[in-house]
Amino acid sequence: MTEIPTGRPADSDLVAFLDGELSPAQAQWVEIWLTRDVELRQRLDLLGRGSAAPIQDAFAALLAAAPEAKLKQMLLALPGYRVERTVARTRRSWLWMRSRPRLALLAAGIALFIAGILVDRFLVDWGGITGIEIARDSEDEWRQAVAQYMSLYTSDTLSGIADEVPPKDRELAAVGAKLGVHLLPSSVSLPGIALKRAQVLQYDGKPLGQIAYLDPRDGVVALCIYTDSHQEIAPSPEQRAGLNIVHWASHGRAFMLVGRKAMPELRELASLLSQRLTL
Amino acid sequence: MIENGQLEVRAGLVSHLARLWRYGLVLSGRRDVAEDLVQATCVRALERSRQFAVGSRLDRWLFSILRSIWLNEVRSRRIRQGEGLVDAETALVVEGAKEIETNILARQVLRHVQMLPQAQRETLFLTYVEGLTYRDTAEMLEVPIGTVMSRLAAARESLSKLNPAPENVSAPQSQSR
């Protein structure tokens, strides 16, 4: 409504006038008519009685009647929703790296150096980040979080780490001690792919171990171990966040092998690990 | 890779659930259908979160999705299944009555709003309750702005009966005696 109409204002013009939706010139046109047209003033009065305030009040009451708790539960149960608190922080750091590639490389170098020293002290809090409290009510939530996190890894994430240097033993021992799993180089080494790093993270207040490998063809593969499992699960394939995963659980520990490797190969590797790893 | 738009959608969804439900109730007139609409909207929003323009109004985007699901999927399915559309008797008042029965005026208003034709009801809701400008309402409903104005005028005329002018109050009373 930009042009100034001619002739007598219609009901719709009067309502727009009441709602403040007319331009100053259009409002002036209506005002001029109102000063000389009694019927139009009565019409304005009638339409003004159907005002917005009682409608807003009534609908506010309806909003209060919304089954909000039920709707929130529904939202929490949707696949793909329950990961953002992890991803938000990862995403922020990823954006930072993307916008400052040189600084990021430097920072990555420093971080990797420090990681070797602080391995079991440097706990990344994977929970409670965005301010949205999301309840955990399923055993597989941690795998979704890990998959989202691992989807941010590239070969470059690990390529700066030298293969098979002595600190790996200490890293593995520290991670193993935290998780209550015997982690020896011989038990976690995999044919054809290099063991790069072992570190302890944290998910929902519980330790989460990550042993990262670099495959020259398929990129990063990671064995992740979480200390919160109540089931015995045989190695099972799945896909999350565009990554292939084989997961299993045994004696209160949940394991997942995740990467971009083809599923048959990943299954073989997972089978190897599941037989070797003991508490 | 997770985009900013996706994060904004995921982070923001939870704060719009009640308003989405209310819009679903205005459209469908049924509490259970409104819940289904909210769920379908969340699923669709998560699927399409890459398409959300960062910094734009998430609530409007979600409303558009809900409306589209209602028009193109739920409403047509309900017609096919013979479940009908909005029934004035299972209206906003009935559906929300338990919680708001102490507020007589609110019930009266909701009853009147529910009696309005669907197009008027939705236009009134978006403009006066959700606070969209005429232009935004027109965009949401995909109608000319003049249509929004005429719908609001018709709705206001109907609702003016809720709040009669003082000189009109005595007439119906004297007739009823």
Q: Where are the alpha helices (DSSP H) in B29-165?
A: 31-47, 58-69, 75-80, 92-100, 104-115, 118-124, 134-141, 145-159
Burial class for A108, CB neighbours closer than 10 Å (0-12, 13-18, 19+):
middle
**Buried-state track B109-129, b at ≥16 Cβ within 10 A, e below 16:** bbbbbbebeeebbbbbbbbbb
Q: Please report, for the domain that includes residue B70, its CATH number.
A: 1.10.1740.10
Cα(A43)–Cα(A78) distance, integer angstroms: 51
Q: Reduced to 3 states, what is the DSSP secondary structure of residue A19?
A: coil
pLDDT digits (tens, 9 = 90+) for A145-180: 888 778 878 887 888 777 765 567 888 888 898 888
If contacts are CB pairs under 8 Å, which of residues 54-73 in chain B contact chain A?
Answer: none
- pLDDT at residue A164 in the model: 60
**Is B118 in contact with B112 (CB distance < 8 Å)?**
no
Q: What is the mean pLDDT of chain A?
A: 77
Q: Residue B30 domain-assigned? A: yes
Amino acid occupying residue B107? R
* Range A171-190 average pLDDT: 88
Smallest CA–CA distance, residue B123 to chain A, in Å, is 12
For residue B53, what is the DSSP state? Answer: P
pLDDT digits (tens, 9 = 90+) for B134-164: 999 999 999 999 999 999 999 999 988 776 6
Q: Residue B123 domain-assigned? A: no
Cβ of B21 and A71 within 8 Å?
Answer: yes
Cα(A78)–Cα(A75) distance, integer angstroms: 5
Cα(A96)–Cα(A112) distance, integer angstroms: 17
Enumerate domains of chain A plus CATH numbers. 11-64 (no CATH), 84-276 (3.30.200.100)
- pLDDT at residue B169 in the model: 40
Q: From the centroid of its chain, how far is CA B132? A: 12
Q: Residue B91 domain-assigned? A: no
**Is A21 in contact with A45 (CB distance < 8 Å)?**
no
- pLDDT more than 90, % of chain B: 41
Number of domains in chain B: 1
Q: Residue B115 domain-assigned? A: no
The order of strands in the sheet holding A253-259 is A194-203, A206-215, A219-226, A253-259, A243-250, A233-240
Cβ of A50 and B164 within 8 Å?
Answer: no
- pLDDT at residue A102 in the model: 55
If contacts are CB pairs under 8 Å, which of residues 26-55 in chain B contact chain A?
Answer: 31, 35, 38-39, 42-43, 46-47
Closest CA to A228 of A137, A149, A151, A152: A137
Q: Residue B80 domain-assigned? A: yes
Q: Of B96, B109, B129, which is closest to A65 when you measure between CB atoms? A: B96
Cα(A126)–Cα(A146) distance, integer angstroms: 9
**Is A143 in contact with A245 (CB distance < 8 Å)?**
yes
pLDDT digits (tens, 9 = 90+) for A32-75: 999 999 999 999 999 988 677 788 888 887 888 788 899 998 89
Nearest residue of B to residue A131 by CA position?
B11
Hey, of B1, B28, B152, which one would you mutate to test binding to chain A, going by the most A CBs within 10 A of its CB? B152
A129-138, A143-152, B11-20, B98-107: lowest mean pLDDT where?
A129-138
Cα(A245)–Cα(A264) distance, integer angstroms: 11
Q: Is the pLDDT of residue B81 over 90?
A: no
Nearest residue of B to residue A80 by CA position?
B46
Q: Is the pLDDT of residue B121 over 90?
A: yes
Amino acid occupying residue B35? E
Nearest residue of A to residue B164 by CA position?
A49
Cβ of A54 and B46 within 8 Å?
Answer: no
Q: What is the ipTM of this complex?
A: 0.81
Give yes or no for B105 touching A (CB within 8 A).
yes
State which residues form the domain around B27.
1-85
Q: Residue B69 domain-assigned? A: yes
Give yes or no for B128 touching A (CB within 8 A).
yes
Closest CA to B121 of B96, B154, B97: B154
Cβ of B153 and A1 within 8 Å?
Answer: no
Give yes or no for B149 touching A (CB within 8 A).
yes
Q: Residue B106 domain-assigned? A: no
* Range B52-64 average pLDDT: 91
Q: Residue B52 domain-assigned? A: yes
- pLDDT at residue B87 in the model: 45
Cα(A220)–Cα(A159) distance, integer angstroms: 9
Cβ of B129 and A56 within 8 Å?
Answer: yes
Nearest residue of A to residue B127 by CA position?
A52
Cα(B75)–Cα(A194) distance, integer angstroms: 57
